Amino acid sequence: MTHLSIQDILPLVEMPSQYIGSEVNAIKKDPKTVELFIALAFPDLYTIGTSHFGLQILYQLLNHEKTIAAERVYAPDTDMESRLRIAGLPLTSLESARPLAQFDIIGFSLLYELNYTNILTILDLAGIPFFAKDRYLSFPLIIAGGPCTCNPEPVADFFDAMVIGDGESVILEMANCWRAWKQGGGNDKTLLLKSWRNIEGVYVPSFFEPTYTAEGFQTLVPQYPDYQQVLRAIIPSLDDAPFPEKPVVPYGRPVHDRLRLEVSRGCTRGCRFCQAGMIYRPVRERSVHTLMQQAENALASTGYDELSLLSLSTSDFGCMPELMARLIARCAPEHIAVSLPSFRAGTLTPELMTQIKQIRKTGFTIAPEAGSQRLRNVINKNITQEDIASTVHDAFSLGWQVIKLYFMIGLPTETDEDLSAIVDMVLELRKLKLHKTKGMKGHKNQINVSVNTFIPKPHTPFQWAPQLAVEESQKKIHWLKEKLNYSDVQFKWQNPRVGILEGLWARGDRRLANLLVAAWKNGCRLDGWSDHFDASKWEKSLEETGIDIAFYTTRVRDLSEPLPWDHIYARVTKPFLISEWERAVQQESTPDCRSGDCQSCGVCDFQTIEPRVFAASEIHGSEIQVESPIPTRTDVLRYRISYAKTGPARVFGHLELANIMFRAFRRAKIPVEFSVGFHPKPKISFDDPLPVGMESLHETCVVSARPVFSTSEMMDRLNQALPEGLTVTRWEISSSKKEYIACKDISYAIQLKTGVFEQHRLESFRAGESFVKPRVRKGAMSLVNYSEHVHRLELDGVDSLLLTIRSGQNQTIRPSEILSAIFDLSEDTIKTARIVKLAPALQIPK
């Protein structure tokens, strides 16, 4: 029996394109030129992981080095996991299909605590022991970075080293240490870890020994006197920081399917619950000039038709009206949408509103967080009811139809009145909506209310606060749900059982490592996905390991209590956090230091590290002039394009293919014509969809475009822009006279990867005049006479055949149905078979 490869099992899993790794801007290096192989592992599905901006930065930064190959791997979905296990295949990287165990370093991005079991899935499928102490030199070094490492303790035992803070400032230094260590023999892991510990931001967990007090509090004993605390790594100037100008363009439907421009890092609004607002300080903006240049290069390299701005607080960006004006001027002529992810209430200026009118209206999000002014003062969310009301009013007026409101329950000092205030606020905002839509036919404005249970996070002023128990959360959510039961209010909430686990991992210590292993062994997978999350498996695992979840989550912590993350210095001082906690109780607000007085949080040294905010006066008109790359001519021609879809491209679904093609046209700078109307669409139409998994030597599409290049140049340009497996074979002006007509009988070359074609079945098919069998499609059964459909069927050995399906029948029959009916092959055998639709004979009509 043939052994299946990962490529062979792709047709057996959902969304197979997530595993092929041939995306535009994916980097494949000749292994002979590489000294250091690094796998960048994202412990969640491709659709989430490819949207992570930090991974894109590291990918380009590392691959920029000639002798380093950085490749990607994402957590496989459960169907792929079980297929890999059945086939006995290890998990491999996307770019070169290199087994993970053969990499020198695997670096995980830790963004969400509920992803932790996926780390173990990835390690297990790679055949790598979970615990660092069990990994000898023959295994890769396992490292991690990302916001979750600001309390690394719950997963510290699994990693050789962890990066705290801005990874791009650290990773190349770590790579250099690795190279020096390797050149020195590379036979003592401790030597490497010792050199890594000298890099700012690097935490080596094995250099800190945990002990526990009588009350059960973890304290860490440093093993080296010069290594007692780990300082967060920080990039002083974002304007000089690397930006991925050639980001990998994912297949399928990633959560962020657009180009993202990181306009700033850090937020100093000072919301007391917000971890990101503390651990990314201070505010560092990019200049408009830099952003325009980066947008220009990245649009050219990706072909995206949407661009969005990325930051913790987009509307706080100092030169937002100027940036928006330039982006819209650049993007609008090419039908590239500019979108804004969220707005802080009270920051919409009339100038910005005018610009926003021109952009695509996706959801409009506001996060009041709390319903009452009292509680907003406690959390230092310095926005008023009036700010919120006027922003919602403006948003409805500007054409948004859906407003999303985010609230938290269980915030410190919350009372029943605070909860009622959420209801009052939503009902007030509803009145604005009703007022706006009065008499406006067709407008279905809606308010989406999303409620999460507050989770106290490390390095915030609320890190000592208790979290609501699951039952209390449920009670409050139930009450809100009843009070907000209106057809135009959609109420969503986070499962409190998920929230309490997130809280457990956020403030846990090293004793949780065994819980993670137990949960993984009990079958916990992809816990961040509601369709996978199974609370009963977690309860069983908690019971087995004797972990008291209340100890970590719902109890009040004393300010003097040692915290598991005390050795991680995120640069915001503990006295500042304590004073903010005290001010919270007093309902005192703390102003933003962005452009005002320093609040002494401890982050800035005002020599290299300080807030970096640009003023509009620093923008010079001549600097941001960007010429439209597409020459303009008015005549438009219709072209018929023939192309082959083979190899990895066989797994693209129809919509996916259309997206890939359209972006390739953009990268090739071929100006495709758009339809007119409210939502202009590119004028490209495709043949009937090919089943996913089938290859074809001849598919066609028709496109309307301006002839700025000759047809042969357009063909060359498009071929250079297409991913592996898609090749344009013919490009001609489409007119009824000259159009080629394909012979309708279609032939297929079929090769089995498993199983055989049995000669006697072919003979019994040929023996009779008819061969009638039932067929079930979409739950309905019909009888099919396969003899009428098969024009030609010839075996070539035991695993290959040539099939021609006759045209002109009143039913359409797929090759897979013929294989099943005549040869009685299993579904898996048919799905893994290589089926190639051959090019038809072409004739010119007389």
Asked if 804 and 747 touch (Cβ cutoff 8 Å), the reply is: yes
Instruction: Name which of 282 and 458 has its Cβ closer to ligand SF4.
Output: 282
Instruction: Name which of 280 and 533 has its Cβ closer to ligand SF4.
Output: 280
Taking the complex as a whole, the smallest distance from the CB of residue 233 to ligand SF4 amounts, in Å, to: 16
C-beta neighbour count of 594 within 10 angstroms:
18
Instruction: Name which of 267 and 468 has its Cβ closer to ligand SF4.
Output: 267
Instruction: Name which of 353 and 609 has its Cβ closer to ligand SF4.
Output: 609
User: What CA–CA distance (Å, rounded) separates 69 from 747?
Assistant: 42
Taking the complex as a whole, the smallest distance from the CB of residue 268 to ligand SF4 amounts, in Å, to: 5
User: What CA–CA distance (Å, rounded) separates 252 from 250?
Assistant: 7
Instruction: Name which of 52 and 571 has its Cβ closer to ligand SF4.
Output: 571
Taking the complex as a whole, the smallest distance from the CB of residue 602 to ligand SF4 amounts, in Å, to: 6
Asked if 336 and 285 touch (Cβ cutoff 8 Å), the reply is: no
Asked if 784 and 776 touch (Cβ cutoff 8 Å), the reply is: no
603-610 long-range contacts (CB < 8 A, ≥24 apart) are 603/234, 603/281, 603/282, 603/571, 603/572, 604/282, 608/236, 609/234, 609/236, 609/282, 610/236, 610/282
**Angle at CA 746, nearest 5°, toward 744 and 751?**
175
**Cβ neighbours of residue 763 under 8 Å, at least 6 residues apart?**
none
Instruction: Name which of 73 and 271 has its Cβ closer to ligand SF4.
Output: 271
Instruction: Name which of 601 and 822 has its Cβ closer to ligand SF4.
Output: 601
Taking the complex as a whole, the smallest distance from the CB of residue 281 to ligand SF4 amounts, in Å, to: 4
Q: Would you state the structure tokens that stand for residue 6, as one six-digit string?
A: 């990962």
- Return the exposure string of 182-192: e unless at least 16 CB atoms fall within 10 Å of the residue's CB, then b: eeeeeeebeeb
Residues 584-623 that bind ligand SF4 (CB under 6 A): 593, 598-604, 611
Instruction: Name which of 281 and 567 has its Cβ closer to ligand SF4.
Output: 281
Taking the complex as a whole, the smallest distance from the CB of residue 167 to ligand SF4 amounts, in Å, to: 20
Verify binding: residue 420, ligand SF4, rule CB under 6 A.
no
Taking the complex as a whole, the smallest distance from the CB of residue 658 to ligand SF4 amounts, in Å, to: 46
Residues 261-290 that bind ligand SF4 (CB under 6 A): 268, 281-282
C-beta neighbour count of 303 within 10 angstroms:
22
Taking the complex as a whole, the smallest distance from the CB of residue 313 to ligand SF4 amounts, in Å, to: 14
Q: Would you state the structure tokens that stand for residue 554, as one six-digit string?
A: 């719902």
Instruction: Name which of 468 and 604 has its Cβ closer to ligand SF4.
Output: 604
Taking the complex as a whole, the smallest distance from the CB of residue 603 to ligand SF4 amounts, in Å, to: 4
Closest CA to 782 of 749, 748, 809: 809
Taking the complex as a whole, the smallest distance from the CB of residue 270 to ligand SF4 amounts, in Å, to: 8
Taking the complex as a whole, the smallest distance from the CB of residue 42 to ligand SF4 amounts, in Å, to: 30
User: What CA–CA distance (Å, rounded) separates 741 from 744?
Assistant: 9
Residues 37-96 that bind ligand SF4 (CB under 6 A): none
The residue count for binding ligand SF4 (CB under 6 A) is 12
Is residue 688 classed as helix, strand or coil in its secondary structure?
A: coil
User: What CA–CA distance (Å, rounded) separates 447 from 28?
Assistant: 46
Binding mask 716-755 for ligand SF4 (x = CB under 6 A): ----------------------------------------
Instruction: Name which of 167 and 611 has its Cβ closer to ligand SF4.
Output: 611
517-523 long-range contacts (CB < 8 A, ≥24 apart) are 517/120, 517/130, 518/544, 518/545, 519/117, 520/117, 520/120, 520/121, 520/124
**Angle at CA 593, nearest 5°, toward 589 and 598?**
100
Closest CA to 456 of 408, 523, 389, 386: 408
Amino acid identity of 788? E
Taking the complex as a whole, the smallest distance from the CB of residue 834 to ligand SF4 amounts, in Å, to: 59
Instruction: Name which of 231 and 630 has its Cβ closer to ligand SF4.
Output: 231
Instruction: Name which of 268 and 275 has its Cβ closer to ligand SF4.
Output: 268
Taking the complex as a whole, the smallest distance from the CB of residue 286 to ligand SF4 amounts, in Å, to: 18
User: What CA–CA distance (Å, rounded) separates 238 from 296?
Assistant: 18
Binding region for ligand SF4 (CB under 6 A):
268, 281-282, 593, 598-604, 611
